């Protein structure tokens, strides 16, 4: 993601086509009347990046008609990132005054909230700064929240306080930035190029903002305007891969839109930062952090994360578990269905990549084979169900006896199995695509879906009753009989074991945003035998500072059997050093192979998965 991209004009990709179909208005007047009452509170924001000062974003709220008292809250978690953020620690210097400048009392009434005694004022002004207080971490580019000399990302949940009781009120936000800085966001622009609008607080904080010196590419997908804004550090470099990069995004966008039939937005913004972080989905945008080298020279390295986050535009941002919206930002929100929202999205990542032609059918089979192998190689598969791993995402691994397994992995494979089962039971007349469309038609509005709604959607869209499937593989931990499902598409799985160096250390995301990544002690591993405990906070491994799970993978990849490993962790607030010698273990491999006698039915089902054929509309 360094500045290695030519301008959009060189690519002749300026969008000119009309937007796709949108949700109809409920009435004639909805098109031109802003739906709120004149006496209601109105909150507008100004975000300032001061010249020569990158210590924080400086925030000003102007509140007309405030209640008294006025309680302001900074969210303690962000949709899509299921861990607490200790957001209050990032807020400093909270003051309040009347519009005339008279000071008002402010009480810090919890770790994440402040109450203003408005003294009956018809308008108040609240000011504060928002930043990670570790200056090194604050300047480090990532896909969530940072500020450096040339650019930054404004993360809504950690930047904008909300007026308690009024999250549904619309708001304007104005950006005061250094000269030459631009704005990239999914927020609604206004005639003032520095001011944007959001219909509610939820939409405001779900619209991250890239500010600074960055590159921009516009293109159309299925007749809808899209763009990618790319922050590579403001170095003014050029790239040899711009056309490949934009073509990749167009293919992903068109393929995913094709599954549902239309785009649920009027425009979409991909926000890329040359840094760490992976991706996070939003209503009409995504923020993606991958290495600058990948974006500059090897855009294929960003295909999977781009496809995953874009598919979330439907699955989780609109098709959502009933618990995930309207949001309670002050405390954890639990659901049994993250395996659907994240894991099934992971399955569709592979579907989108193969249907778009970015991956081959062989790539698809290899990836699903690898996923099956990873699942079979995890002892936790027989202990922690997909529903359980979804429900306990907020908890320490101890609640599952220190067994950890990813609901991404579990849900990806369940999505694959459901697609196979539906196509098999209907002769390829229906598929998981039909289920996703049914969910979008019925559970993408005011109310999300329950587990029973999901099973009902499968029955309604595709026919089969999968109650026994649910009991065994979704709520339960029964070993999956892979070939019983794979044979429908002419596949079989071949498992094998091979010797591999045992320097295994799994990783778990931090308990709070910005905290240390934690260790997952793999049962039976050399690290566990040496004393590594699941939940240990990782500091260094073999001399490498651990910033995220990728650092652990990178440093241990080159350790041979018999090689030394030194791990520095924090346990119960105290430093602990663990030393061990890498051993050898039997690594499970899985490969999807073709059945020797392929029937026409098998070929049709496989082609349906890989190309989108079969299924209804």
pLDDT for the residue 38: 76
Query: Are residues 48 and 74 located together in one domain of the fold?
Result: yes
pLDDT for the residue 347: 98
User: Mean pLDDT over residues 276-283, rounded?
Assistant: 91
Q: Is the pLDDT of residue 355 over 90?
A: yes
- pLDDT band for 3, please (50, 70, 90 cuts): very low
Q: Which residues contact 399 (CB under 8 A, 6 or more apart)?
A: 392
**How far from chain centre, in Å, is Cα 40?**
34
Does residue 156 lie in a domain region? yes
- pLDDT band for 552, please (50, 70, 90 cuts): very high
- pLDDT band for 239, please (50, 70, 90 cuts): low
CA dihedral 80, 86, 91, 92 (to 10 degrees): -170
Does residue 3 lie in a domain region? no
Q: How many domains does the structure of the chain reveal?
A: 3
Which residues in 106-119 are b (16+ Cβ under 10 Å) and which e? beeeeebbbbbebe
User: Mean pLDDT over residues 494-516, rounded?
Assistant: 89
Phi, psi of 295, deg, nearest 5: -70, -35
Q: Is the pLDDT of residue 10 over 50?
A: no
User: Mean pLDDT over residues 294-302, rounded?
Assistant: 87
Domain extent at residue 390: 338-491
Query: Under a CB-based contact definition with an 8 Å cutoff, are residues 466 and 458 in contact?
Result: yes
Query: Distance between CA atoms of 271 and 279, rounded to whole angstroms?
Result: 10
- pLDDT band for 4, please (50, 70, 90 cuts): very low
pLDDT for the residue 605: 98
Does residue 78 lie in a domain region? yes
Task: Specify the residue for token string 């240390």.
Answer: 516
User: Mean pLDDT over residues 514-524, rounded?
Assistant: 89
Query: Are residues 57 and 142 located together in one domain of the fold?
Result: yes
Query: Are residues 301 and 342 located together in one domain of the fold?
Result: no
Percent of the chain predicted with pLDDT > 90: 81
Q: Is the pLDDT of residue 607 over 60?
A: yes
Check residues 7 and 600 and name the one with the higher pLDDT: 600
Q: Is the pLDDT of residue 13 over 60?
A: no
Query: Are residues 296 and 390 located together in one domain of the fold?
Result: no
Query: Are residues 546 and 487 located together in one domain of the fold?
Result: no
Query: Are residues 225 and 94 located together in one domain of the fold?
Result: yes
User: Mean pLDDT over residues 469-476, rounded?
Assistant: 97
Query: Are residues 353 and 412 located together in one domain of the fold?
Result: yes
Does residue 94 lie in a domain region? yes
Does residue 360 lie in a domain region? yes
Average pLDDT value for the chain: 91
Query: Are residues 185 and 300 located together in one domain of the fold?
Result: yes
CA atoms within 13 A of residue 265's CA, in its CB half-sphere: 25
Minimum mean pLDDT range among 89-93, 125-129, 294-298, 361-365: 294-298
- pLDDT band for 34, please (50, 70, 90 cuts): low
User: Mean pLDDT over residues 13-23, rounded?
Assistant: 37
Here the CATH number for the domain that contains residue 557 is: 2.30.42.10
pLDDT for the residue 294: 86
**Tens digits of per-residue pLDDT, 408-462?**
999 999 999 999 999 999 999 999 999 999 999 999 988 999 999 999 999 988 8
**Tens digits of per-residue pLDDT, 163-172?**
999 999 999 9
Question: Residue 370: exposed, middle, or buried by beta-carbon count in 10 A (0-12, 13-18, 19+)?
Answer: middle
Does residue 300 lie in a domain region? yes
Does residue 593 lie in a domain region? no
């Amino acid at each position: 993601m360094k500045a290695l991209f030519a301008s959009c004009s060189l690519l002749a990709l300026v969008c000119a086509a009309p937007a796709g179909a949108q949700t109809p208005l409920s009435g004639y007047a909805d098109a031109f009347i802003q739906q709120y009452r004149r006496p209601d509170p109105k909150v507008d924001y100004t975000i300032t990046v001061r010249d020569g000062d990158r210590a924080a974003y400086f925030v000003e709220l102007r509140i007309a008609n405030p209640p008294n008292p006025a309680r302001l809250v900074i969210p303690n978690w962000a949709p899509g990132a299921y861990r607490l953020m200790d957001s209050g620690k990032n807020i400093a210097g909270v003051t309040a005054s009347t519009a005339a400048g008279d000071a008002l009392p402010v009480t810090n009434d919890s770790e994440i909230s402040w109450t203003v005694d408005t003294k009956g004022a018809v308008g108040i002004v609240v000011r504060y700064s928002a930043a990670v207080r570790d200056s090194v971490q604050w300047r480090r580019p990532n896909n969530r929240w940072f500020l450096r000399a040339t650019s930054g990302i404004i993360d809504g949940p950690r930047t904008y306080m909300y007026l308690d009781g009024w999250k549904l009120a619309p708001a304007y936000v104005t950006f005061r930035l250094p000269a030459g800085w631009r704005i990239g966001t999914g927020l609604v622009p206004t005639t003032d190029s520095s001011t944007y609008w959001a219909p509610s607080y939820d939409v405001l904080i779900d619209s991250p903002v890239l500010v600074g010196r960055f590159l921009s590419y516009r293109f159309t997908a299925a007749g809808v305007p899209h763009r990618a804004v790319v922050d590579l550090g403001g170095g003014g470099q050029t790239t040899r891969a711009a056309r490949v990069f934009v073509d990749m995004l167009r293919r992903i966008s068109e393929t995913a839109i094709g599954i549902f039939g239309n785009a649920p937005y009027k425009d979409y913004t991909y926000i890329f930062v040359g840094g760490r972080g992976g991706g996070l989905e939003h209503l009409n945008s995504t923020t993606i952090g991958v290495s600058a080298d990948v974006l500059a020279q090897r855009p294929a390295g960003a295909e999977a994360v781009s496809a995953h986050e874009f598919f979330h535009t439907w699955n989780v941002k609109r098709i959502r578990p009933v618990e995930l919206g309207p949001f309670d930002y002050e405390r954890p929100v639990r659901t049994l269905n993250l395996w659907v929202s994240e894991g099934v999205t992971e399955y569709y990542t592979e579907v989108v990549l193969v249907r778009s032609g970015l991956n081959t059918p062989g790539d698809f089979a290899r990836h699903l084979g690898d996923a099956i192998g990873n699942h079979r190689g995890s002892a936790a598969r027989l202990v922690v169900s997909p529903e359980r791993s979804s429900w306990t995402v907020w908890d320490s691994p101890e609640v599952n006896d220190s067994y950890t397994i990813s609901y991404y992995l579990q849900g990806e494979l369940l999505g694959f199995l459901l697609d196979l089962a539906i196509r098999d039971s209907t002769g390829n007349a229906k598929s998981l695509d039909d289920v996703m469309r049914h969910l979008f038609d019925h559970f993408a509005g005011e109310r999300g879906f329950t587990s029973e709604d999901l099973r009902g959607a499968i029955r309604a869209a595709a026919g089969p009753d999968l109650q026994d499937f649910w009991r065994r593989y979704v709520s339960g931990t029964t070993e999956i009989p892979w070939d019983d499902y794979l044979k429908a598409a002419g596949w079989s799985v071949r498992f094998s074991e091979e010797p591999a160096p045992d320097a295994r250390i799994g990783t778990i995301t931090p308990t709070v945003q910005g905290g240390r990544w934690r260790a997952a002690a793999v049962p039976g591993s050399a690290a566990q035998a040496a004393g590594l405990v699941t939940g240990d906070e990782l500091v260094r491994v073999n001399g490498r500072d651990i910033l995220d799970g990728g650092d652990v993978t990178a440093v241990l990849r080159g350790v041979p059997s018999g090689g030394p490993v030194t791990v520095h962790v924090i346990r119960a607030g105290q430093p602990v050093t663990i030393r061990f010698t890498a051993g050898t273990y039997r690594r499970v491999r899985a490969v999807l192979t073709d059945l020797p006698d392929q029937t026409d039915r098998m070929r049709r089902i496989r082609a349906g998965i890989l190309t989108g054929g079969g299924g209804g509309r």
